[in-house]
Amino acid sequence: MEPTAGDLTDPLINHADGQLFLHEAFKIIVEEVLCKGTDVKEKVCEWREPEELARLLDLELREKGEPQENLLQRVRDVAKYSIKTSHPRFFNQQFAGVDYHSLAGRFLSEALNTNLFTYEVAPVFVLMEAEVLRGLRALVGWTEGDGLFCPGGSTSNMYAMNLARYRLYPEVKSQGLWSLPQLTVFTSPESHYSVKKGAAFMGFGMDNVILVKGAVPFLVSCTSGTTVQGAFDPLDRIANVCDKHKLWLHVDAAWGGSVLFSKKHSHLMKGVHRANSVAWNPHKMLVAGLQCSVLLLKDTTDLLKKCHCANATYLFQQDKFYDVNLDIGDKTVQCSRKVDCLKLWLMWKAVGSAGLEQRVDKAFLHARYVVDQMKKRDGFQLLRDVSSHLNQPEFVNVCFWFIPPSLRGKEKNPDYQNRLAKVAPVIKERMMKQGTMMVGYQPLGDRVNFFRITILSPLVSHKDMDFFLDEIERLGNDL
Amino acid sequence: MNLYVINFKGQTTVGELMNPEKGSPGAVEDMEAAESFIQQAMEIILQEAVKKATNVKEKVCEWRSPEQLKELLDLELKDTGESESKILQCCRDAIRYSVKTGHPRFFNQLFAGLEPHSMVASFIIEAIKTSQYTYEMAPVFTLIEDALLKTMMKLIGWEEGGDGLFNPGGSMSNMYAVNLARYRYCPDFKEIGMYASPRLVMLTSQEGHYSIAKAAALLGFGTKNVYVGAVPFFVNATAGTTVLGAFDPIDEIADICEKHNLWLHVDACWGGGALVSKKHKHLLKGIQRVNSVAWNLHKMLMATLQCSAFLVRDKSCLLQRCHCAGASYLFQQDKFYDVSYDTGDKSVQCSRKPDAFKFWLVWKAVGTRELEYRVDRALALARYLAQEIKKREGFSLVIEPEFANVCFWYIPPSLRNLPESPELWKKLHTVAPVVKERMMKSGSMMIGYQKHVDKPNFFRMVVISPQVSRQDLDFVLDEIHSLGKDL
């Protein structure tokens, strides 16, 4: 197997073959994923049990490679058995739909395959990321500040906690938690679980999220757009408390942040400019494509860099021939960092803030429509909590139970809750096995399994909403 | 090169979808326009970011100062959108001024080259656009990740298997190792935090990656508690250090760790690739004895960024227990399929990209033997380069390469035959930055330099890509001399 001198003289990879493979594979991607994947006549998912799917995919990695036709078939198989998250009837998560400009941005980011740690290897994207962050900060109401793109909102939230800790006790970076008093984080029960995961990961301990007597609160993490119900914490009021006690105010707007594009709905985040940090995931409501998560900071003292830097000399040489402040890599906890700004930048360029605003507003309209329709039908019962006195959801999450005919009017029965809890899982199983749509369900507190539909895709119309309600009925009427 | 033509069949379907109200601009209101746009964008990508970008006759980089570049790119985000032709021009400009990391003369980092199978996998992942937290959301990718991790564990030598997942980067993998070791040491820390505990310390070598220090800071240990200390609970060994490409003696370290019951983690982000080579895997001898391994497939094995595996030799669901938060909106226990396929709660993330696929497709496409051949070839080229350096006047190796890193000084004629002294080192220190500036401004190649401990700036050549050949390495030495001989 020892390479001969001749082997070292010629390049090994044949680029013509590789480019042909790219060409052919792209055709399949377009046909199977983009075309069929957004076609309402096609299935949302092609369900298979894990063991069967493993067989179908022929997962084993072997000594020898395969010819191109095999590989292209694999591309088809991967497409076939993957979930069509851009399908008009995919409502399962807080992302959906497809924007073709951001998709082009994503393909381009992958093709250019670089890292964002230094200006020298990513000149275009260092500048672009800064501009996108500036634009997002402006929507928050900040004319200056800092920030970066993170691999997910969980990481953004973790950064906020780390920065708040560092600001209060800068010595923690070198000395650790040993010398500090017990620190606590305040957050609401509906906040995202990444606050807890972050607390465990960073040494605070999950128990110290919420409230402990005698401890030192250092951060309040509030949520703009809770995961399940889409509720918005009252930021102005919380900011009053934080200002008074000098607590770091972090706003987890991973889900709800995009309302800031909408003149009509940005009031939901009134007061956000008073926060210290904001986490916002454009890959959710703005359809930028996974992953696209930002952390925005009001700070202008280079806190991000001071908190995280390790000054590695093999990357951040101080004697470079360009302004080394452009090497932003030491602001992050990562080393390699993907280019996630292009997908948002290209889309924003293409449709403008006005275009993004329209999307946000449309999502609200769809949610209102669904709720209105539900009220007209028997068997759909909304969770009331986040509705206003008009029984409208605050955001675009619509949470409801489907009560099959057999259970209607039987609320007083002792086994009602138990039986109701079993309805959603069965309907979910049926919809997935038939591939007609996907919507999530979960319990919450003492409320048994209910559905949560989140409407955000620009591909969706009223017909899909009608279909959704019809389908729930069709799948669940016999339960 | 002319592309194919595909008709999006969705035309009428979209017409049905779009009801009385107008759809939002930029959304898929007009499928033909969307199709045309994507095809044109892809054509640009294939021509400019793939074909041209890997052509040795083209530049590696088109250097512009930040101020110039800002002007050229027109980055401003406005209220109104731009025309399709403008957007396509934005794509062209982004490519033009980006560094061509797939170019045969890009040697600047621990990744390089262009692996077309991995790129296809990346495009698929972007088009499918899903998150790997649950089986229901990512059935194919969940199974693929599992299969790939198992195969990697076999290469490591864990006969009974283990656990693991893919992370956004090797730094994250290293952080997971620290976190798991801490959790194993005292599971209560997860709930109550570390306040009441004795000071715990982490041991690593001087050449270990800085992510260990970042992990210490982020996880609450403090950077001072990496090295010397009170109660050691974690040892980090490096298989392939960042600058010199050195390998810690894992067997010897494992002896000590086993004796003292310390968690041994191997940061094999860079050097893990040697495991596919029968000839070179001895560099990681003993790796089957360790507790956890970080291995970045986006480095030597050329998967697209990011493709970082974290592997742990554990069958007690430690990863899950350590990180889980049991969110009921994702990890319902009453699902209709086996919920042990939902991997999301093993991770510190929520959404997680299906990165394993980027390498699985490569492995399927080329097979283990080809992967082995690529690694052997890269290392043979590194040895060739070292030989050439020894033969040439004005070039001096820092150390004999153990792996794919070849570190050397270029000594311009004016500094040759001078006695070694601090003044000489000071002058030598200024050579590499200037040569680097000149190579970037001409766009002929990219190589990294750095100082290291007390040594003045030296170049670090990293040989990875199967597209690189001896001529490219000869060129590197010729070009350095050409750029630096007047210094």
- The string of pLDDT tens digits covering residues A187-213 is 888 888 899 999 999 999 999 887 555
Smallest Cα distance from A124 to chain B, Å: 6
Question: Nearest Cβ partner of A22 from B120, B193, B469?
Answer: B120
Same domain, A354 and A420: yes
CATH of the domain at A428: 3.90.1150.170
Alpha helices in A193-248 (DSSP H): 194-201, 235-245
d(CA A110, CA B327): 31
- Measured between beta carbons, the chain A residues lying within 8 angstroms of B231 are none
Please count the other Cβ atoms lying within 10 Å of the Cβ belonging to residue A131. Answer: 18
Nearest residue in chain B measured CA to CA from A164: B218
Nearest CA in chain A to B36: A100
In the stretch 55-94 of chain B, residues with CB closer than 8 A to chain A read: 61, 63-66, 69-70, 73, 75-82, 86-87, 90-91, 93-94
**Chain A, window 184-213: residues with a beta carbon less than 8 angstroms from a chain B beta carbon:** 192-194, 196-208
Residues A396-437 pLDDT 10s? 999 999 999 999 999 999 999 999 999 999 999 999 999 999
Would you state the CATH architecture of domain B54-114+367-486? Answer: Alpha-Beta Complex (3.90)
Whether A85 sits inside 8 A of B109 (CB atoms) is: no
A331 to chain B: closest CA residue: B214
- pLDDT confidence bin for B29, thresholds 50/70/90: low
Chosen from B47, B227, B329 to mutate, greatest number of chain A CBs within 10 A: B329
- Whether A40 is covered by a domain: the verdict is no
Cβ neighbours of residue A372 closer than 8 Å, sequence gap 6 or more: none
Domain limits for position A231: 115-338
Residue A26 belongs to a domain: no
In whole numbers, what is the pLDDT of chain A averaged over residues? 91
Separation CA A29–CA A32 (nearest Å): 5
pLDDT tens-digit profile of B214-266?
A: 999 999 999 888 874 457 889 999 999 999 999 999 999 999 999 999 999 99
Are residues A272 and A407 located together in one domain of the fold? Answer: no
Cβ–Cβ under 8 Å, residues B109 and A163: no
What tokens appear for A29 in the block?
Answer: 């991607």
- Rounded to two decimals, the pTM is 0.88
Mean pLDDT along residues B175-201: 91
HSE value, Cβ hemisphere, 13 Å, CA-based, for B124: 37
A216 CB near a chain B CB, below 8 Å? no
* Contact between B323 and A200 using a beta-carbon 8 Å cutoff: yes
Handedness of CA A470, A473, A475, A477 (dihedral sign): negative
Q: Report the relative pairing of strands B455-462 and B405-410 from DSSP bridges.
A: antiparallel
Question: How far is B483 from chain A, CA to nearest CA, in Å?
Answer: 15
Mutation for testing the B interface, residue in A317, A320, A336 having most B CBs under 10 Å: A336
- CB distance A40 to B13 below 8 Å: yes
Q: Which residues of chain A have pLDDT under 70?
A: 1-2, 5, 211-214, 385-391
CB–CB contact A322 B328 (8 Å): no
Which residue is associated with the tokens 């290293």?
A: B174
* In a shared domain, residues A137 and A250: yes
Q: Is residue A86 part of a domain?
A: no
With CB atoms and an 8 Å threshold, state whether B124 touches A29: yes
Do residue B348 and residue A1 have CB atoms under 8 angstroms apart? no
pLDDT at A179: 79
User: A16 — contact with chain B (CB < 8 Å)?
Assistant: no
Nearest to A128 among B41, B75, B171 (CB): B75
Whether residue A61 and residue B80 make contact (CB cut-off 8 A), yes or no, is no
Last-in-domain residue among A338, A366, A390 = A338
Q: What is the mean pLDDT of chain B?
A: 89
Q: What is the pLDDT at residue A300?
A: 92
Helices (H), B18-115: 31-44, 66-73, 84-96
Interface of A with B in 441-460 (CB under 8 A): 441-444, 449, 452, 458-460
| Window 188-227 of B, Cβ < 8 Å to A | 189-195, 197, 199, 209-211, 213-214, 216-225
Task: Judge if A258 and A372 occupy the same domain.
Answer: no
How far is it, in rounded angstroms, from Cα A158 to Cα A169?
A: 16
Residue B14 has pLDDT above 70, yes or no: no
Domain match, A363 and A275 both: no
Angle among Cα B213, B217, B222 to the nearest 5 degrees reads 90
Q: Do B172 and A334 touch (CB under 8 A)?
A: yes
**B77 interaction partners in chain A (CB closer than 8 Å):** 131-132, 135, 345, 348-349, 352-353
Q: Write down the pLDDT at residue B380.
A: 96
Structure tokens at B62: 């088109």
Are A400 and A328 in the same domain? no
Judge if A355 and A332 occupy the same domain: no
Cα separation of B236 and B214, whole Å?
A: 13
Nearest to A40 among B17, B45, B50 (CB): B17
Q: Rg for chain A (alpha carbons), in Å?
A: 25
Nearest chain A residue to B107 by CA: give it: A121
Q: Which two tokens stand for residue A7?
A: 């082997």
Q: What is the ipTM of this complex?
A: 0.87
B330 band by pLDDT with thresholds 50, 70 and 90:
confident
Q: Is B79 in contact with A353 (CB distance < 8 Å)?
A: yes
Domain termination site, one of A303, A338, A373: A338
**Measured between alpha carbons, how far is A121 from A337 in angstroms, rounded to an integer?**
12
* Residue A324 sits in the same domain as residue A362: no
- Among A3, A113, A158, the residue with its CB nearest the CB of B304 is A113
Residue B2: pLDDT above 50?
Answer: no
Flag whether residue A368 sits within 8 Å of chain B, measured between CB atoms: no
Closest-approach residue (CA) in chain A for B440: A120
Tens of pLDDT, residues B95-148:
999 999 999 999 999 999 999 999 999 999 999 999 998 999 999 999 999 999
- Identify the bridge partners of residue A221 per DSSP, sorted by sequence position: A187, A250
B314 Cα to chain A: minimum distance (Å): 19
Residue B206: per-residue pLDDT: 78
Between A and B, how many CB-CB pairs are < 8 A? Answer: 575
Is the distance from CB of A133 to CB of A147 less than 8 angstroms? yes
Is position A215 within any domain?
yes
Please state the domain count of chain A. Answer: 2
When pLDDT is cut at 50, 70 and 90, the band that residue B326 belongs to is confident
Q: Exposed, middle or buried, B39 (CB in 10 Å: 0-12/13-18/19+)?
A: middle
Question: How close A259 gets to chain B, by Cα (Å)?
Answer: 15
User: What pLDDT score was predicted for residue B4?
Assistant: 22
Which residue would you say has higher pLDDT here, B243 or B18? B243
Based on the domain organization, do A332 and A359 belong to the same domain?
Answer: no
Return the residue of B nearest to A448 by Cα: B328
Nearest residue to B140 (alpha-carbon basis) of A83, A251, A461, A385: A83
Answer whether A175 touches B (CB < 8 Å).
yes
Residues A330 and A420 both lie in one domain: no
- From the list B6, B23, B116, the residue facing A21 with the nearest CB is B116
pLDDT tens digit sequence for B203-226: 888 778 889 989 999 999 998 888
- Residue A123, min C-alpha distance to chain B (Å): 6
Q: Does A60 touch chain B (CB under 8 A)?
A: yes
Q: Does A397 touch chain B (CB under 8 A)?
A: no
Chain A residues in contact with B319 by the CB 8 A cut-off are: none
Look at strands B231-238 and A248-252 and give their pairing.
unpaired
**Hey, what are A36's tokens?**
């069929």
Which two three-digit tokens encode residue B75?
Answer: 């980055």
Name the pairing type of β-strands A216-223 and A183-187. Answer: parallel
Q: Are A34 and B38 inside 8 Å of each other by CB? A: yes
What are the C-alpha distances in Å from B43 to residues A26, A442, B129? 10, 44, 21
Q: CA-nearest residue of chain A to B133?
A: A93
Domain residue ranges in chain B = 54-114+367-486, 131-353
Same domain flag for A179 and A207: yes
| CA distance linking residue A296 with residue A304, whole number of Å | 10
Q: Are A402 and A427 in contact (CB under 8 A)?
A: yes
Residues B348, A154: C-beta atoms closer than 8 Å: yes
Q: Shortest CB distance from A463 goes to which of B4, B19, B433?
A: B19
Which band of pLDDT confidence, cut at 50, 70 and 90, is reported for residue B198?
A: confident
- Does residue A34 belong to any structural domain of this protein? no
Which of B49, B109, B336 faces A428 most closely, judged by CB atoms?
A: B336
Residues of chain A positioned with their CB less than 8 A from the CB of B26:
99-101, 347, 350-351, 355, 359, 458
Fold of B131-353: Aspartate Aminotransferase; domain 2 (3.40.640)
Task: Assess whether A234 and A330 both reside in one domain.
Answer: yes
Residues of chain A neighbouring B168 (CB-CB closer than 8 A): 151-152, 155, 334, 338
* Partners of A110 in beta bridges: none
Residue A108 lies in a domain: no
Chain length of chain B: 487
At residue A254, the pLDDT reads 95
Of all residues in chain B, what percent carry a pLDDT higher than 70?
93
Residue pair A250/A235 in contact (Cβ under 8 Å)? The answer is: no
Domain boundary, last residue among A312, A338, A364: A338
Checking if the pLDDT of B24 tops 80, the result is: no
